[in-house]
């Protein structure tokens, strides 16, 4: 049986080709800037084949861009968006102007810091963030109490937060002072403000939250606010982890 080409919405097709984000693509399409097989298309959801259809933006044909993979040490106070209605500083301000279009892989909220991946490979990004891959993310969290064994166990046992149960895969004490401590937390799934909400339910406040690793990829010595490309070895290591975790 002949295999048919997979079809996706036109906006998603532009994102998959690494041209821009899906929301940016939708704006271009609605502004009559995109042609599909020679005709202006105004519907971002128009079924499109990446293999067979001709896509043009402003009369220039779009082919798949070279895939790029970067890591950034996001400082506290930076928002993980392409634009911000409140005029807050965004992660794109930390990137060179001549960099190809890339999108953050998942998010770190404004108050959080640490390792953030960026890529134009949307399929790879989806696999990184998919709950089905159970790719571990490691955080160092400073809390406003000396973390007891009971607190660490409660985090792993889970707590009802609103309509969902939140828990962590692993938690351990790193170091403590008189009135606060640092704990290491490992998640293999990520909900919105997962760690903050869980600790809030346990009457604990987060003072700092730093993501220090995604899978086998550590933040390492990368300076705050700086970025670099992943090495081929790092990219392959993450790919192997994803593949081993994915169900057949």
Nearest Cα to 70, choosing from 192, 222, 248? Answer: 222
Q: Rounded distance, CA 26 to CA 148, Å?
A: 49
Both tokens of 227, joined, read 């970025």
Both tokens of 163, joined, read 């309509």
Q: Would you mind telling me the total number of residues written for the chain in this entry?
A: 248
Q: Rounded distance, CA 16 to CA 112, Å?
A: 28
DSSP secondary structure letters along 30-62: HTT-EEETTEE---TT-EEETTT--EEETTEE-
Q: Rounded distance, CA 71 to CA 231, Å?
A: 10
Both tokens of 173, joined, read 């004490």
Q: Would you put residue 37 in left (φ > 0), alpha (ψ -120 to 50) or beta?
A: left
Q: Rounded distance, CA 136 to CA 133, Å?
A: 9
First to last CA, the chain: 22
From the candidates 53, 59, 98, 109, give the one annotated as an active-site residue.
Answer: 109
Nearest Cα to 226, choosing from 93, 103, 89? Answer: 93
121 is catalytic: no
Q: Rounded distance, CA 139 to CA 168, Å?
A: 11
Residue positions annotated with a catalytic role: 109
């Amino acid at each position: 049986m002949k295999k048919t080409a997979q079809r996706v919405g036109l906006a998603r097709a532009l994102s998959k080709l690494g041209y821009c984000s899906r929301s940016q693509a939708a704006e271009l399409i609605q502004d009559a800037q995109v042609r599909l097989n020679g005709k202006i298309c105004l519907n971002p959801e128009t079924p499109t084949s990446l293999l067979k259809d001709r896509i043009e933006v402003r009369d220039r044909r779009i082919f798949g861009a070279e895939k790029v993979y970067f890591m950034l040490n996001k400082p506290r106070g930076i928002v993980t968006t392409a634009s911000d209605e409140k005029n807050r500083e965004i992660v794109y301000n930390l990137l060179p102007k001549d960099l190809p279009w890339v999108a953050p892989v998942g998010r770190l909220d404004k108050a959080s810091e640490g390792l953030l991946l960026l890529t134009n490979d949307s399929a790879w990004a989806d696999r990184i963030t998919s709950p089905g891959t159970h790719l571990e993310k490691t955080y160092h969290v400073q809390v406003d109490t000396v973390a007891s064994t009971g607190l660490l166990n409660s985090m792993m046992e889970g707590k009802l937060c609103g309509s969902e149960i939140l828990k962590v895969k692993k938690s351990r004490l790193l170091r403590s002072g008189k009135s606060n401590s640092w704990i290491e937390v490992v998640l293999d799934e990520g909900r919105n403000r997962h760690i903050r909400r869980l600790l809030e339910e346990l009457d604990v406040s987060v003072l700092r939250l730093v993501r220090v690793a995604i899978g086998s990829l550590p933040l390492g010595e990368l300076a705050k606010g700086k970025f670099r490309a992943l090495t081929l070895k790092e990219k392959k290591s993450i790919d192997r982890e994803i593949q081993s975790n994915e169900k057949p």
